[in-house]
Amino acid sequence: MLEGLVVVELGSGVTTALATRTMAGFGAEVVKVEPPEGDCLRHVGAFPDGRTDGESSAAHLYFNGGKSSVVLDLRQQAARSALTAIVSAADLLVTDRRRGELEALGLDEPRLAAGFPKLSVVAVTPYGEDGPKADHLVTELTTFAAGGQLSLMGSPDREPVKPYGDQAGCQAALSVLGAAMTAVLRQLRTGRSSYVELALQELQASAMDMQGPMAYNGDPPYPGYGKRIGNSTHSLWSYYPSRDGDVGIFVNPTNIDSFLAAIGRPDLRDRMSDKTFLAGEMRDLVGRWCAERTNAEVHAAAVEHGAPFSYVARPADLLADPTLAETGIWHDIDAPGLGRLRVPGAPFAGSEPFELAPAPQLGQHTTAVLARYAGAIGEDTRAIVGGWRGR
Amino acid sequence: MSPEPSGTDRPAVGGGAELPLAGFLVLDLSMFWAGPFATKHLADLGAEVIKVEGPTRIDHVRTVSVPDRSVAEPYNTSRYFNEYNRNKYGLAIDLQTDAGRRIVQELAAMSDVVVENFRPGAIDRLGLGYEQLRRANPRVIMVSLPAYSGLEPERRLPGYGPNVEQMSGISHLSGYIDGPPQKFGISYGDPVAGLGGAAAVLMALVARERTGVGRRIEVSQRNLLLTFIGDALVAHQFGAHVERQGNRSPVHAPQGVYPSQGADGTPAEQADSWVAVSVTTDEQWTRLAEAMGRPDLAADARLLDARARRATHDDLDREIAAWTRTMPAATVADKLQTVGVPASPVLTPDDLRDDPQLTARAFLRTVDHATMTPMKLTAPTWHFHGLDVELRAAPGLGEHNRDILRGRLGLSDDYVDELEAQGVIAKEPQEKPGRSRHA
C-alpha cells in the first residue's frame, strides 16, 4: 500500500521502530539512522546463549525488520549534513528526538518547513514539546507511570505492576502510524505537508477506559474501579487456575446463557441475580470447573457454546496455534546465524502483501544510502560514520 | 430515495474545512470502546462520522458512568460515551426493519469508510457486508474490529479485552516476578484495536488516493496485540526464557515502583501512593544514592555496575523504599529529575486531571453539553501544528436523525415523520437498558 513512500526513522525506541516497521512491511522504504554504537534495541536483548552482539538482540530482530540501516555519527558536521540530505529526499521523518536535539541537528520545525516543504514530520516525545516536564528523563517504566495506566494494574495489596515490555511505546506506535498516514493523505490531497506532535503521556491518558472520563469530570469512581483490582472484579469477571495454567471467565449479561451452558449448569439461570450466590457459591463452582480442566478443554467448551472464556497463552501455544497461523499473522525471517524465526507480521489483515526483509546489520546500507542521497563516497564517509567500522 | 454520488467535495453536516479529513464520510456501526475510539480520531481530524445506533440497540456504554440517573435523558450524559464519541453525528435507526436496513445500506454505499465491530458474520446478514457494499461503491473502505479473526473456530467466541489479553500472550509475560499472569487495569485490547483501526482506515485512504479502489481490513484484537510481543516470541525461539519481570528492567538496575506519602502527607502505609524510579547508568546510581543521603551505597564497590545491582535488587528496593516513603511521590520525582535520574509519580486518573504537565498543555478542554453542565473532554492527541480542532459533545441518541436523512439522503420531512411514527428512528431508547460496567 505504501510503495514509493520514503521514510526516515530518527529514533531510538519501540515507538518509532514499530511504527516504521509496519510502514516497511506495507511497502515503504524506511531508512533507520543509527549511532555508531547502534540503536538501543540492539542492546536490550533478549540474546541467544553465548551472544551479546547487537545483531542477535531479539528486540532488534523484531522491531527493525524491513529497514535499511545507515550509521551516522551526528556529533560530526559531515554526518549532520548527510542526514539533512537524506531527509530532503524523504516524504516522512519519524522521530523521537526532543525539540532541542532536533534544533541542534538543524531539523527543527521552522527550518524543515522552510527547506523541505514537501516533508511531513511525526515527532513523538514522552511529555510533548513544551510544559514543565518536557525535558524530564524517562524510561518505559516512568513513561507508563506518567500516563495513568500503571496505577490501575496489579494487586490492590501490592505496588502497581507494569505489563511486558514497553506498552506505552507500543500503543504510541499505532498513533504514530495513524498520524503519519494522515499526513501522507493530506499531502496527496492538498499538497500540504504536516508537522504532527504526539506525547506519550497524553496518548495513554486519553485511553483510560471509563475511569479517565469520570475522574476528569470529578465524578467518584465506581466501587473497585478507581484503583487496582488485580485479576478478579467478581466471580464472572476473573482469572482462574486451570489444570495446566490459567484461564479467564469474563461474562457480561448477554453471555449468561452461553456461560451456563458451557459449564453445564443451565439450572442456575434463576440465581444469576443473587449477589450473595454469585460472590460465594458461584466463585467456588467456577473455580472447581476450571481447576478440573486443561486450558484446551476450557477453550473447547467456550467454542462449543459461544462463551467468553479464554486461556493464558504462552509463546509455545501461540506459535503452534493453527488458527493463528491460518490468519496469516506469521512472517518467517532468516536471521543470519540464528536460522529461521517466526515473527508477527501485519498488525491488520487485508488483501495487501506484507513483506519484510530481515532486520539490517548495523550500517549495512550506509554506503548505498549515502551514495544515493548524500552523494558521499569513499573517504567522504569516514567523518560521517564516526567510530563505526562496518562493512 | 437515491444516494448522492460518493466523493469528497460534498458539504458536510459539519466539520472543519481545513482539517485533514474534512470531506470524508465515515459510517460508524461500532459500539463499546474499540470502534468508537478509532472513529473518535477520525472525527477529531475533520471526518464526518455518523454513529449508528437503534431504538433498541443503543451503545451499551451510554449506560455506564452516568453522573445522575435521575435526569431526563441519562443515556445522553455518560462520561464514557461523550469522551469517545465526541464530534460525531447521531443516527438511531432500527436495523431490524426493512426501511431501517435500506437507509443504512444507502448511507454505507455513499460512505468513504464503514467501521464495524459486530460478531463475525452479523454484518453480512444485515446486507452491509463488504462484498455487498463494494458492488455499489468500489471505493468504500470497510474496517472490521473483531476480538478474534473471522476464522473457525475462534469466530464463534465472544471476546472482551481481558480475554484477548490472555489469548494474545501478553498476560503470560506480564505480572509480578513471583506472581501469576496479570490482567491489565483497563480493557487493553480495546484502545489498542481502536488505534489500529484508525491507522488501518488512514492507510487504506492513502492507498485509495493512489489506486482509486477501496478495500476491507480486519483488525483482530488478538493479532494486533501479538505485534506488541514480537520480541518475546523471537527470544522464545532461540531458547531465551522470557519471564515475568514485575517492574524491573532486563538491562539496567535498580528499577521499581516504590511507596510514597500521599500528597496531603498521608503516611505511605495508608496512602496507596507510588513513584516509579529507573536507574539506567552507573552514574545515575551514584546520583540516586547521594539523593537518598546514602553515600555509603554510592561508594560500595559491589554495586558499581548494573549486573551487580541486579544481583542484589531486593536489598536495594528496600533501601530505596525506605527513602521514598518519607515524602510524596511528586517530591521524590522532582528530587531525582533534578539530579538526572528518571522518575515519575504513578499518576492515578484523579492525578491526571490535576497534573501540571497535562494542564500546561491544555489536555482537558471544557465543552458545552445540551443537558448537562459543561464537561471535560480530552484534547485531540495527534497535534497537527497550525490546525485548530474544535470539540463538540457526543450526539444525543438520534440527535441528527432528521439532518442526516434529509441532508444526506434527501428524504422528505413527511417520510421522516413516517419513519419516526413507525419507530424506525427514535431519539430515546425503546426499552430502558440494563446496567453493566463491562465494555
pLDDT at position B286, please?
Answer: 96
In Å, how far are A15, A125, A387, B291 from B275, measured between CA atoms? 23, 21, 39, 15
Q: Does residue B79 form part of some domain?
A: yes
Going across the sheet that includes A120-125, the strands are A68-71, A29-34, A6-10, A92-95, A120-125, A195-199, B383-384
Q: With cut-offs at 50, 70 and 90, classify the pLDDT of residue A289.
A: very high
Q: Is the pLDDT of residue B2 over 50?
A: no
The angle formed by the CA atoms of residues A373, B205 and B17, to the nearest 5 degrees, is 100
Asked if A317 is an interface residue toward chain B (Cβ–Cβ < 8 A), one would say yes
What's the pLDDT tens digit per position in B347-374?
999 999 999 999 999 999 999 999 999 9
Question: B339 and B274, same structural domain?
Answer: yes
Is B189 inside any structural domain? yes
Radius of gyration (C-alpha) of chain B in whole angstroms: 26
Residues B44 and B190 in one domain: yes
pLDDT score for B15: 40
The CATH number assigned to the domain holding B303 equals 3.30.1540.10
Residue B57 placed within a domain: yes
Q: Tell me if B358 is assigned to some domain.
A: no
For residue range A215-258, list pLDDT tens digits in order: 999 998 887 777 898 999 899 999 999 999 999 999 988 899 99
Domain housing B221 = 25-227+367-421
What average pLDDT does the segment B180-209 reach?
A: 96
Same domain, B321 and B218: no
Do both B72 and B174 map to the same domain? yes
How many structural domains comprise chain B? 2
Do B338 and B376 reside in the same domain of the chain? no
H helices present in B181-300, as ranges: 189-211, 221-226, 230-237, 268-271, 282-291, 295-299
Residue A193 has pLDDT above 50, yes or no: yes
Q: Which of B311, B346, B381 is the last residue of a domain?
A: B346
**Angle (nearest 5°) at CA A240 between A236 and A246:** 135
Residue B277: list chain A partners with CB under 8 A. Answer: 142
Q: How far is CA A295 from CA A240, A244, A313, B262, B300, in A?
A: 11, 6, 9, 42, 48
Residue recorded with cell 534544533: A103
Measured in angstroms, the CA of B139 and the nearest CA of chain A are apart by 15
Cα B97–Cα B98–Cα B99 angle in degrees, nearest 5? 90
Residues B106 and B181 in one domain: yes
- Residue A199, chain B, CB below 8 Å: the answer is yes
Residue A241 DSSP class: E
Domains and CATH numbers, chain A: 6-206+329-385 (3.40.50.10540), 232-241+246-311 (3.30.1540)
Q: What is the mean pLDDT of residues A199-205?
A: 98
Q: Which of B312, B346, B380 is the last residue of a domain?
A: B346
Regarding whether B316 and B259 lie in a shared domain, the answer is yes
Q: Are residues B173 and B211 in the same domain?
A: yes
DSSP A371: I
Whether residue A148 is predicted with pLDDT greater than 80 in this model: the reply is yes
- Judged by a CB distance cut-off of 8 A, whether residue A7 touches chain B is no
Which of A37-46, A382-391, B390-399 is predicted least confidently?
A382-391
Residue in A149, A165, A205 closest to B185 by CB: A149
- By annotation, the residues of B acting in catalysis are 190
Mean pLDDT of all residues in chain A? 93
Instruction: Please list the alpha-helical segments (H only) found in B68-217.
Output: 79-84, 98-109, 122-125, 130-136, 161-168, 170-173, 189-211
Cross-strand partners of A330: A344
User: Which chain A residue lies closest to B359 (C-alpha atoms)?
Assistant: A131
Same domain, B184 and B319: no
Q: What is the DSSP letter of B395?
A: P
The pLDDT assigned to A373 comes to 85
- In a mutational test of the A interface, the residue from B188, B277, B348 whose CB has the highest number of chain A CBs within 10 Å is B348
Residues B326 and B261 in one domain: yes
Coil, helix or strand for A48?
Answer: coil
* Residue among A58, A149, A181 whose CB faces B231 most closely: A58
**Do B210 and B265 fall within a single domain?**
no
Measure the CA–CA gap between A239 and A298, rounded to whole angstroms.
12
B353/A145 CB distance under 8 A: no
B221 and B269 fall within a common domain: no
Q: Residue A266: CB partners within 8 Å, gap ≥ 6?
A: A257, A260
Q: Identify whether A358 is preceded by a cis peptide bond (ω within 30 of 0).
A: no
What is the share, in percent, of chain A residues with pLDDT greater than 90? 84
The predicted structure's pLDDT at residue B120:
80
Alpha-carbon distance A132 to A264, whole Å? 58
Q: Is residue B362 part of a domain?
A: no
Establish if B190 belongs to a structural domain: yes
Cis peptide before B295 (omega within 30 of 0): no
- Report the range of poorest mean pLDDT among A265-269, A341-345, B66-70, B341-345: B66-70
Decide if B323 is inside a domain. Answer: yes
Give the mean model confidence (pLDDT) for residues A275-283: 95
pLDDT at B420 over 50: yes
What CATH number does the domain containing B192 carry? 3.40.50.10540
Give the angle subtended at the CA of A81 by the CAs of A78 and A83, to the nearest 5°. 110
Last residue of a domain, one of B316, B346, B376: B346
User: Across the interface, which of A132, A152, A186 has its CB nearest the CB of B356?
Assistant: A132
C-beta atoms of A159 and B156 within 8 A: no
Q: Report the gap between the CA of B410 and the closest CA in chain A (Å).
A: 28
Between positions 405 and 434 of B, the ones with CB within 8 A of A are 434
Domain annotation covers residue B237 = no
